[in-house]
Amino acid sequence: MSDDKPEFVGNRPRTKRVELEDHVKYKGKVYTALTVRRLSTSEVAAWSDAVSSGDPDANLGNVVDDDGEVVPREVLEFMDDDDDEKVSEAIASFLPRRLSTALASDSETQT
């Protein structure tokens, strides 16, 4: 890897691959596994800006396919519930603390 860009060198896992029990086909592509990635500061900032500006398609972009492409929202919303639970657990374990805290406090707020 080039020294032009920073890279993480610690021993904490940066990704987790989740094999899907029920494969999903969308726009000709078959999803058999999804990889959840840890987020960088710039990715969290970009997502926060998109949410703040009211972007209805704001996506953290931390769930990717085997080609490294961000998994479309349609695929994530269509998955079998058991697969969704496994992916959601991986996402929750990789969320930055500030997002975990914010999302937990939002879920406790009554509407």
Buried b (16+ CB within 10 A) or exposed e, 18-33: bebeeebeeeeeebee
Please tell me the predicted confidence (pLDDT) of residue 109: 46
Q: 83: domain range?
A: 15-100
Residue 106 domain-assigned?
no
pTM here is 0.79
Instruction: Say if 110 falls within a structural domain.
Output: no
- Classify residue 4: in a domain, yes or no: no
pLDDT at 106: 61
Q: How many domains does the chain have?
A: 1
Q: Tell whether 10 is covered by a domain.
A: no
pLDDT tens string for the chain (111 positions)? 567 989 888 888 999 999 999 999 999 999 999 999 998 888 888 888 988 999 888 888 899 999 999 999 999 999 999 999 999 999 988 888 877 776 666 655 443
pLDDT at 2: 61
- Report the C-alpha gap between 33 and 41 in whole angstroms: 26
